[in-house]
Amino acid sequence: QVQLVESGGGLVQAGGSLRLSCSASGGAFSSYAMGWFRQTPGPEREFVACISRTAGSAFAADYGESVKGRFTISRDNAKNTVYLQMNSLKPEDTAVYYCAGRSSPELETYSRTREYNYWGQGTQVTVSS
């Protein structure tokens, strides 16, 4: 059973930075595509970023429009961890951030919640104005 555990959330002032981590266990992390989503009170999870399974050193990544140019997703297969570096944070970035994973061919990315099989429990990010 694959388990995903997020960490790194917290309270930060607008304009500040945070780095979220998602550690995976129980599966072949290097064969997974990974994603980050966020949710404010309401039924929908918003796509934030995703990163493909790597092909050698090559990978693909995609970002939600609201975070492009501010957030960067990366992965370390040796550590079974995916990261989300969040810079220039805004109060509207306040949400619970979820890590997601799925097995995947190389270099494919996925931006829809229904495309992922595995989910973490989430970590709260609060940005104060």
The secondary structure of residue 67, as a DSSP letter, is T
pLDDT of the chain, 129 residues: tens digit per residue: 899 999 999 999 999 999 999 999 998 999 999 999 999 988 899 999 999 999 999 999 999 999 999 999 999 999 999 999 999 999 999 999 999 999 999 999 999 999 999 999 999 999 999
Which residue, 60, 55, 1, is CA-closest to 28?
A: 1
**Which pLDDT belongs to residue 1?**
80
Contacts of 71 (CB under 8 A, 6+ apart): 48, 49, 63, 84, 85, 86, 87
- How do residues 51-84 score in pLDDT, each as one tens digit? 999 999 999 999 999 999 999 999 999 999 999 9
Between strands 123-128 and 10-13, the pairing is parallel
Which residue, 16, 28, 31, is CA-closest to 94?
A: 16
Q: How many CB atoms lie within 10 A of CB 2?
A: 16
Which residue, 21, 124, 111, is CA-closest to 63?
A: 111
